[in-house]
Amino acid sequence: MKVPVVQRILSANDQIAAENQARFDAAGVFVLNVMASPGAGKTSLILATAPHLSPAVRVGVIEGDVASTIDADRIAAAGIPVVQINTGGSCHLDAPMVRSALEQFSLEGLSLLFIENVGNLICPAEFRLGAHLAVVLSSVPEGHDKPYKYPGMFNGADVVLLNKVDLLPYFDFDVEYFRQGLEMLHPNIPFFLISCRTGEGMEEWAQWLLQRRSESSGPQRKIQSA
């Protein structure tokens, strides 16, 4: 009888996720759930995106990891408000964890909140957090087969970014094969080629993000892009 138990767990999680999103909406904060495998560059994405946003756009981060504060320390050193969630072994964040983190974190004055999920291409796809946008980040060194091997993750994405494209000359990575895998799962999904190291593609990604935030917020809460 494991399936009904799992269904009850996910149903309870979804209820809290809806409460989280209502809280974000009330505060006027647009929230991204950033998911990727370990080493794809989730923290680097956040740090590389921030400089391409208008000074009026204030960013915050909820940082999820199995252990340590290494990534949270990097974010804090950049002057970005951050709170750490250590899952103690769990392979994903869930809505109750995010709700608990919000008790230690003020949403006041924020425009964008990045929730950096635990590095994993399976479990995080199953647990809603209350975010407005599901961001899936892949990277060139991982190989071009990831959409085919992890369809649940990529099918549930609102946008996919391919990081480390500066390494394409050094890896046997077929961008078109990767893109075809995305299109099979999610036709016309927004897709960006980026390099957090060199800055390639970051301006286009940031402008798209600001537009999505503006559309979600409505005319009374629009923000200006850089």
Is the per-residue pLDDT at 2 higher than 70?
no
User: 70-77 and 42-49 are packed helices; what angle lies between their axes, rounded to 10 degrees?
Assistant: 10
Residue 40: phi, psi to the nearest 5?
-70, -25
What would the pLDDT profile of 188-203 be if each residue is shown by its tens digit? Answer: 999 999 999 999 999 9
The whole-number pLDDT of residue 138 equals 98
Least confident of 40-54, 116-130, 211-225: 211-225
Domain 2-214, CATH: 3.40.50.300
CA angle 204, 132, 190 (to 5 degrees): 35
149, exposed or middle or buried, with CB in 10 Å at 0-12, 13-18, 19+? exposed
The whole-number pLDDT of residue 5 equals 47
Domain boundaries, the chain: 2-214
What would the pLDDT profile of 112-140 be if each residue is shown by its tens digit? Answer: 999 999 999 999 999 999 999 999 999 99
The whole-number pLDDT of residue 216 equals 86
Residue 213, token pair as written in the block: 């935030």
Which residue did the predictor score with more confidence, 157 or 223? Answer: 157
What band does 221 get if pLDDT is binned at 50, 70 and 90?
very low
Is the per-residue pLDDT at 3 higher than 50?
no
DSSP state of 19: H
The whole-number pLDDT of residue 9 equals 64
Q: What is the overall mean pLDDT for the chain?
A: 92
What band does 7 get if pLDDT is binned at 50, 70 and 90?
low
As a whole number of angstroms, the distance between CA 71 and CA 84 comes to 9
With H, G, I as helix, E, B as strand and everything else as coil, classify residue 39. coil
Give this prediction's pTM.
Answer: 0.92
Is the per-residue pLDDT at 24 higher than 70?
yes
